[in-house]
Structure 1
Amino acid sequence: DGRQIIIGGRKAFNYEFYPKTASTNNVFNLPFLQQTNNPREENNLFPFVFLNVDGNLFIFANDRAILFDYKTNKVVKTYPQIPGGDPRNYPSSGSAVILPLKNLRSQTVQAEVLVCGGAPRGSYPKADKGEFLGALNTCGRITITDPNPQWTIETMPLARTMGDMVILPNGNVLIINGAASGTAGWQIARNPVLSPVIYRPDNPSDSRFEVQNPNVIPRMYHSTAVLLRDGRVLVGGSNPNELYNFTGVLFPTDLSLEAFSPSYLDPESANLRPRIISPASHLKFTYGQRVDIRFTASRLLNRDLVKVTMVAPGFNTHSFTMNQRMLVLPRSGIVRQVGRFVYQISCVFPKSAIFAPPGYYLLFVVHQDIPSEAIWVRIQ
């Protein structure tokens, strides 16, 4: 309905809504947050929260998750503990995404969550004393809509805490930033992880991860990563110091910004890259509305490998991008050629705000995993 829900915080085992109304002008208790709070460590700040396709909230904190009906203040389902039992939330910061939502016309739309990295239990007090435990090298993946959901554990090529996960326009996931030992907090992580990793969720389970070229700037505590309209990822920050310290510390405060360019922006992919002609950017659409998208492409176009994706812009802090969400729009008919190297694809916007809450989205045409530059669309 366009409201925001604010969940958790230090010694804040509750949630509230913004903007407030007469019926929601309160703070509502959420015992799950108290149950997942570890003495001296917490391990449940910045919980991973996703709007499920049934309208309830998937909430992951520490090493476990619930499905929560925020309208009635009731836990609908308790999920199995993630195998291993190690925490994934601040300060043992992992990261998480809800994987792209597909088949939106289906009676039962499937939703999957991927949780990656973190730090072993006890990392925070040990790091405070100068002992830096190795970060976690596992991801947990779970179908949260399954009647009997179970975690599947996958091994990353690089262990990582304080990583950031960004859904790319083609549906792959970028894992970037962070450290290989220690934990989040002031000056208590070591061994920066300079190499990003791409995760391909649709690949066979033994071929989903691919290590990318390394960065040269450590992006430790208080780093960030967000998707840009041209398909690059804006990367910045790193301030593991209580004050802004630029010299005399192991990892100085860094105010620089960079752009990570995924391989789909390589020059050799240019002849596969679509360019959207219409509709114009910043137009408003309604739920269930059909839209005709015209785009140019080279003579190498494979019409069976064209899709349209819609990405909600995220808000990133402390290794989690809130509001991040991708939908693959259902096609209506075939891709038609309407001019010299000009094509039209017809798609239908989601039928409900449960799938796509109202607001602005980046809309991409993707051809053979190569995305166009996005246009902004507004759904209401």
Structure 2
Amino acid sequence: MTLLLLLILLFHAAEAKGQWQLLHKNIGIVAMHMQLLHNDRVIIFDRTDFGLSNLTLPDGRCRNNPNELVVKRDCTAHSIEYDVAANTFRALFVQTNVWCSSGSVSPDGTLVQTGGFNDGYRAVRTFTPCRSCDWAEVQHGLAAQRWYATNHILPDGRQIIIGGRRQFNYEFYPKTQAKNTYSLPFLAQTNDANAENNLYPFVFLNVDGNLFIFANNRAILFDYNKNSVVRTYPQIPGGDPRCYPSTGSAVLLPLREPNVEAEVLICGGAPRGAFRNTLSGKFVGALRTCARIKITDPKANWVMETMPGARVMSDMVLLPNGDVLIVNGAAVGTAGWELGRNPVLNPFLYKPNKRVGMRFEVQNPSHIPRMYHSGAVLLRDGRVLLAGSNPHTYYNFTKVLFPTELRLEAFSPWYLEPGFSNVRPAIVSPASQTKLKYGQTLRLRFKVSATLVGDSVSVTMLAPPFNTHSFSMNQRLLVLKPHHLSGVGESTHEVEVTAPASAVLAPPGFYLLFVVHQEVPSHGIWVQMV
């Protein structure tokens, strides 16, 4: 009977292609940057020099900024806090320009957001989760101007800030008495004249404590403590660029304990020369390839795969069951003002554990083009929140190919469809916001109404990322292998797992914890690694 149920489930999973829901027709601002916080609110912000937004600041508040390039007295908001459970949002106040900035969440759950443009080049902004909190700003909090940089949380709780336009170096935050910036020649070596193609580099913390840094079409393993390159990886076959403005996307595939190996997947982008061609009005088709590499392999090489279609400016979202959702973007052109064409409305689902050639599945389409300056983040209930798209220098709603997009929507992957409710776990304990120590034994109780298939149960931990410009910084999913599973009551079970052994595997901070049964995840609970 269990085998029959499993076969039926697999059949329904193959037929299910996800569902779309419009949440708001107008949130007032463009979602250029997004971050889910541990109070189930999503912080969203665009840039201050788009001009006036469509959302007025409350209580007659206005932003007076003589350094602003567009509107020096602005009574509209450029950031919001979205309450997932209530499906409401409130305006937030940001003073300096956050255009094309970066960020990560500190171990205590505070969003630390860095850089931007003009008066925001060296600014640091923090947002502490609470019902009435707003942005706090530290002027000159950075040692160098950071525009199109990448951040990553480190095992000691600091964040490293890498690169940015004309910045071939890195620095750390919070600041100490140590040297402010450190040279990173790799960023200069990957800088294409008149195109760059190395902005928003793809950065991942490897399981050995070093950083995997990918820029343009190649990567290094980097010891940031010693400021030294540990190894150089082969160039991606074909040599086409994958970083901004030839914007592909990248993800660190799930880390599976106990024998943890690390793999990186990079998908889409634009052919070499495409950016300069689009500037002269010649639009070139995007890349259809993905490249996958096991970065812990001493003889690591890229394995090429082919997507169902070409994509540029797409987002890659890790789902709780370890699959990857590829969503948003275009099939022609590059990132940049008015430089994308042919929006791709169908997400692709990538299943890392299937064999090559069987990993991609086309999902149901949205009806909203999400082009340049759009984004996507996973929510605690397993949905994916999508917003943004503005390929114009200002808000522009008429007489353009792709009007400024202020609608907010959610994509529900196949596992949220009603047909899977009987196999979907529901976590009973521990309570959300539980603190976990490294190496701690954790017992989770959960309910499943159908017959439990014991060898299909796993526990996953996901670090919610900072999403902007088709890259989700700090996105990380760990798969914890059960070492004891038992029934403790009617339809109630207890699974025992061990928390990650070190901060190298799971840097300190808040994670979403899921129980997964037959590839169907529960709603998550928040846990904090301390």
TM-score category of the 2 structures, normalised to the smaller one: over 0.9
Distance 1:124 1:152 in 2: 25
1:32 corresponds to which of 186, 208, 218: 186
SS at match of 2:422: helix
Corresponding position of 2:164: 9
| Contact 2:376 2:387 survives alignment (8 Å) | yes
SS at match of 2:287: coil
2:247 corresponds to which of 73, 85, 93: 93
Corresponding position of 1:80: 234
**CA deviation map 1:123-165 (0-9, x unaligned):** 1111011111000000000000000100000000010000000
Distance 1:355 1:338 in 2: 31
Letter in 1 for 2:440: Q
- 1:207 lines up with 2:358 in the alignment: yes
2:523 corresponds to which of 370, 373, 377: 373
- 1:130 lines up with 2:265 in the alignment: no
SS at match of 2:277: helix
Alpha-carbon RMSD across the aligned residues, in angstroms, is 0.7
Corresponding position of 2:175: 20
**CA deviation map 1:162-186 (0-9, x unaligned):** 0000000000000000000000000
Distance 1:39 1:349 in 2: 46
Displacement, 1:330?
2.8
- 1:155 lines up with 2:306 in the alignment: yes
Corresponding position of 1:182: 333
Which structure exhibits the higher relative contact order, with contacts defined as CA atoms closer than 8 Å and separated by 6 or more residues? 2
- 1:43 lines up with 2:197 in the alignment: yes
Distance 1:116 1:368 in 2: 27
**CA deviation map 1:271-301 (0-9, x unaligned):** 1100000000001111000110000001321
SS at match of 1:119: coil
Letter in 2 for 1:117: G
Larger deviation, residues 311-320 vs 248-257: 248-257
- 1:358 lines up with 2:508 in the alignment: yes
1:56 corresponds to which of 185, 188, 210: 210
Q: Where in structure 2 are the equivalents of 1:198-347 lying within 5 Å? A: 198-333=349-484, 335-347=485-497
SS at match of 2:256: coil
Distance 1:52 1:307 in 2: 22
SS at match of 1:272: coil
Letter in 2 for 1:282: Q
Distance 1:129 1:243 in 2: 21
Letter in 1 for 2:217: D
TM-score normalised to the size of structure 1? 0.98
Distance 1:304 1:209 in 2: 24
**CA deviation map 1:72-98 (0-9, x unaligned):** 000000000000100000000000000
TM-score normalised to the size of structure 2? 0.70
User: How many residues in Structure 1 have an aligned counterpart in Structure 2?
Assistant: 375
Letter in 2 for 1:63: N
**CA deviation map 1:321-341 (0-9, x unaligned):** 0010000013222x1000111
Distance 1:300 1:240 in 2: 50
Letter in 1 for 2:288: N
Letter in 1 for 2:488: V
Letter in 2 for 1:369: E
Distance 1:300 1:336 in 2: 13
Displacement, 1:378?
0.1
SS at match of 1:59: strand
Structure 1 gaps, min length 5: none
SS at match of 1:376: strand
Bigger radius of gyration: 2
**CA deviation map 1:174-223 (0-9, x unaligned):** 00000000000000110000000000000011100000011110000000
Displacement, 1:306?
0.5
Distance 2:420 2:450 in 1: 13
Letter in 2 for 1:173: V
**CA deviation map 1:227-275 (0-9, x unaligned):** 0000000011001001111112111110111101100011101111000
Structure 2 gaps, min length 5: 1-155
Distance 1:295 1:44 in 2: 45
| Contact 2:457 2:482 survives alignment (8 Å) | no
Q: Where in structure 2 are the equivalents of 1:135-150 lying within 5 Å? A: 135-150=286-301
Letter in 1 for 2:474: N
Aligned identity (percent) is 65
Displacement, 1:304?
1.1
Distance 1:255 1:8 in 2: 30
